[in-house]
């Protein structure tokens, strides 16, 4: 883990009440940051919107904190909860 | 590749259950900072700390952003100052504390530990000077933490030092009386002190440690509490299993962040401390876990058994999750820093005697306990001796961090604020221990077989 090149993939999670334009809004932010989306999974449970995206940072010039801030702004604007975390968090916590 | 439930579980742990990295602590050896001129030595200390730790805060903040997990504290531990200052030409070591304080402020850490001495078998000249300087050092600085080891299983208990620490604690309380004895909250008296503990106030960088090292402390009582509450009818086997699984996940975060911090700082990764460290935040309490297991209030009969189960299950799960486990690695039961413990004390369920029993089965000892201001140095020394005896006989770490608050009596509450929380004044026994404490000398090391 420490010796090889660090992965540039992250997980974006979006939680909130369903409404028009959530996917468009979030993907628009990611596109403007030149962050590539590798996978999207989305579901709605009783009007509760959940979206999990796997994204790749290698094409982006921006760092985590900057993209995170832009997503925070979007979250604020749309009344959602958006979080971006390096994929290692999930890999490490749940896999041996 | 990624399971949705697992992702949501992780996010819930951080957002709802207060999972966080409690501390990234950089251990720094100051053994090469000794000098016959105290000023030169202090400058070397300042220069070395600020050089090695200059990126600690920045890297901590980067990791918080990338992993999306709060890293509450960034801290530094150093070689016990008694050893570094010993060869200098002064007997007054308070300026060494000021040098540490300046370095801590420069690099932006909230605590720096290591104004310490190890005197379990006896004093050197430096140890004597350091212990004498502790009350003033704690009163004149904000971020410097102090610890003294007065006993080990192999050496026995240095009762001269125990008595002296009783007096030092009283003096530290007197010099910080305007802040409710805050100085004592930064002073820990240990038996069997670990050399790689990342948690304050007892952290220092042991003599067997490398030049510089990164040690991690995780925290997740809230996560464990919720896991326990989800299975109200489980038997003890399943209860322990659930805690183990939860502890595994919590510790993995510490391991991940620790490895990455070590890589970015170019400093070897030492250990993850598995301790479940509570905070005063609602829901981030070790007492709540015990009560979640079925006790009406922490401190009632059954508390010691519940804590033993918790502590052992956390170690089993945590040990699997990390390549190197160390430090204190047990559930912490500080009173002022744990909302559930405070509640238990105020309800009359939890007493000093029960806390002492609890420290037999977990780390780390009588921690953040406020007692009446008229408690004598001899009584405090006797409390330390009791705790040290538990540690010595059971080959475990025990400690005392006790605050005799001037002008306060049982029923009063003191506010320390922040992570130190608030403490109800707890009663101590009123019968004297003076003649016992004043005997002097050492309690011999215990026999290591015939263990009953």
pLDDT band at A57 (very low <50, low <70, confident <90, very high): confident
Q: Is the pLDDT of residue B3 over 90?
A: no
CATH number at B22-191: 3.20.70.20
Q: Which CATH class is domain B217-443?
A: alpha beta
Instruction: Report ipTM (2 d.p.).
Output: 0.80
CATH 3.10.450.50 is the classification of domain A9-94: no
pLDDT band at A2 (very low <50, low <70, confident <90, very high): very low
For B257, nearest residue in chain A (alpha carbons): A89
**What would the pLDDT profile of B362-414 be if each residue is shown by its tens digit?**
878 899 999 999 999 999 999 999 999 999 999 999 999 999 999 999 999 99
**What would the pLDDT profile of B161-199 be if each residue is shown by its tens digit?**
999 999 999 999 999 999 999 999 999 999 999 999 999
pLDDT for position A5? 58
Q: Is the pLDDT of residue A4 over 50?
A: no
Q: How far is CA B84 from the centre of its chain?
A: 22
**What would the pLDDT profile of B432-450 be if each residue is shown by its tens digit?**
999 999 999 999 999 988 8
* B136 and B358 Cβ atoms separated by less than 8 Å: no
Give me chain B's average pLDDT, please. Answer: 94
For the segment B95-119, the average pLDDT, to the nearest whole number, is 97
Q: Is the pLDDT of residue A1 over 60?
A: no
Calculate how close chain A gets to B442, using CA atoms only, in Å.
47
pLDDT for position A42? 87
Share of chain B above pLDDT 90, in %: 83
pLDDT for position B119? 97
DSSP-assigned letters across all residues of B346-389: HTT---HHHHHHHTTSSSSEEEEEEEETT--HHHHHHHHHHHHH
Angle at B202 between CA B201 and CA B205, to 5 degrees: 120
pLDDT for position B406? 94
For the segment B52-64, the average pLDDT, to the nearest whole number, is 94
Residues 241-260 of B with CB under 8 A from A: 249, 252-253, 255-256, 259-260
Look up tokens 């010993």; give the residue.
B86
pLDDT band at B106 (very low <50, low <70, confident <90, very high): very high
For the segment A18-30, the average pLDDT, to the nearest whole number, is 91
Between B7, B65, B263, which is nearest A13 by CB? B7
pLDDT for position B170? 97
pLDDT for position B1? 65
Kindly list the domain boundaries of chain B, sorted by start residue.
22-191, 217-443
Q: Is the pLDDT of residue A45 over 80?
A: no
Kindly list the domain boundaries of chain A, sorted by start residue.
9-94
Q: Is the pLDDT of residue B41 over 90?
A: yes
* B368 and B337 Cβ atoms separated by less than 8 Å: yes
User: B11–A87: do the CB atoms touch at under 8 Å?
Assistant: no
* B196 and B160 Cβ atoms separated by less than 8 Å: no
Share of chain B above pLDDT 70, in %: 100
Q: Is the pLDDT of residue A3 over 80?
A: no
Residue from B21, B57, B67, B216 to probe the interface with A (highest A Cβ count within 10 Å): B67
Q: Tell me the residues of A at the B interface, defined by beta carbons under 8 Å apart.
A: 1-2, 10-11, 13, 15, 39, 41, 43, 50, 52, 54, 63-65, 68, 83-90, 92-94
Q: How far apart are CA A51 and CA B341, in angstroms?
A: 39
* B145 and B201 Cβ atoms separated by less than 8 Å: yes
For A85, nearest residue in chain B (alpha carbons): B67
For the segment A59-85, the average pLDDT, to the nearest whole number, is 90
* B269 and B322 Cβ atoms separated by less than 8 Å: no
Tell me whether the omega of the peptide bond preceding residue B201 falls within 30 degrees of 0, making it cis. Answer: yes
Structure token digits, residue B238: 């399943």
Q: In this structure, what are the phi and psi dihedrals at residue A17, rounded to the nearest 5 degrees?
A: -80, 140
Residues 84-113 of B with CB under 8 A from A: none
């Amino acid at each position: 883990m420490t010796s090889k090149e660090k992965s540039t993939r992250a997980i974006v999670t979006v939680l909130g009440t369903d409404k028009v334009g959530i996917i468009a809004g979030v993907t628009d932010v990611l596109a403007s940051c030149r962050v590539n989306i590798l996978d999207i999974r989305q579901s709605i449970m009783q009007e509760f919107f959940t979206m999990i995206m796997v994204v790749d940072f290698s094409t982006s010039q921006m760092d985590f904190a900057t993209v995170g801030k832009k997503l925070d702004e979007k979250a604020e604007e749309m009344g959602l909860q958006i979080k971006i975390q390096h994929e290692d968090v999930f890999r490490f916590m749940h896999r041996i | 590749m990624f399971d949705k439930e697992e992702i949501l579980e992780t996010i819930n742990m951080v957002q709802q259950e207060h999972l966080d990295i409690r501390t990234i602590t950089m251990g720094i050896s100051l053994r090469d900072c000794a000098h016959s001129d105290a000023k030169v030595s202090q400058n070397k200390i300042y220069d070395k700390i600020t050089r090695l730790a200059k990126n600690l805060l920045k890297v901590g903040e980067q990791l918080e952003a990338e992993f999306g997990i709060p890293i509450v504290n960034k801290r530094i531990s150093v070689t016990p100052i008694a050893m570094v200052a010993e060869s200098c030409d002064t007997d007054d070591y308070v300026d060494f504390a000021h040098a540490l304080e300046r370095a801590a402020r420069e690099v932006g850490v909230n605590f720096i530990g290591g104004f310490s001495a190890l005197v379990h078998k006896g004093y050197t000249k430096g140890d004597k000077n350091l212990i004498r300087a502790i009350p003033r050092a704690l009163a004149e600085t904000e971020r410097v933490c102090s610890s003294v080891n007065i006993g080990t299983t192999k050496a026995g208990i240095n009762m001269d030092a125990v008595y002296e620490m009783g007096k030092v604690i009283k003096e530290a309380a007197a010099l910080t009386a305007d802040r409710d004895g805050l100085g004592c909250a930064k002073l820990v008296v240990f038996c069997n002190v670990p050399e790689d503990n990342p948690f304050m106030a007892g952290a220092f960088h042991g003599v067997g440690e490398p030049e510089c090292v990164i040690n991690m402390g995780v925290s997740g009582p809230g996560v464990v509490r919720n896991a326990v509450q989800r299975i109200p009818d489980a038997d003890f086997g399943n209860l322990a299993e659930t805690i183990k699984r939860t502890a595994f996940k919590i510790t993995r975060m510490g391991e991940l962040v620790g490895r990455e911090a070590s890589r970015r700082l170019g400093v070897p990764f030492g250990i993850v401390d598995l301790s479940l460290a509570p905070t005063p935040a609602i829901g981030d309490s070790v007492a709540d876990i015990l009560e979640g297991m079925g006790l009406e209030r922490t401190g009632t009969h059954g508390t010691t058994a519940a804590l033993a189960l918790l502590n052992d299950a956390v170690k089993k799960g945590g040990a699997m999750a990390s390549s190197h486990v160390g430090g204190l690695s047990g559930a912490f039961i500080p009173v002022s820093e744990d909302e559930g413990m405070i509640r238990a004390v105020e309800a009359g369920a939890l007493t000093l005697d029960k806390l002492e029993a609890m420290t037999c089965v977990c780390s780390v000892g009588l921690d953040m306990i406020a007692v009446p201001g008229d408690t004598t140095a001899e009584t405090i020394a006797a409390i330390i001796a009791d705790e040290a005896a538990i540690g010595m006989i059971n080959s475990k770490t025990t400690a005392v961090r006790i605050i005799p608050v001037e002008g306060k009596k049982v029923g009063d509450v003191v506010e320390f604020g922040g992570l130190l929380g608030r403490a109800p004044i707890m009663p101590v026994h009123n019968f004297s221990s003076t003649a016992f404490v004043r005997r002097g000398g050492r309690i011999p090391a215990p026999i290591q077989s015939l263990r009953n």
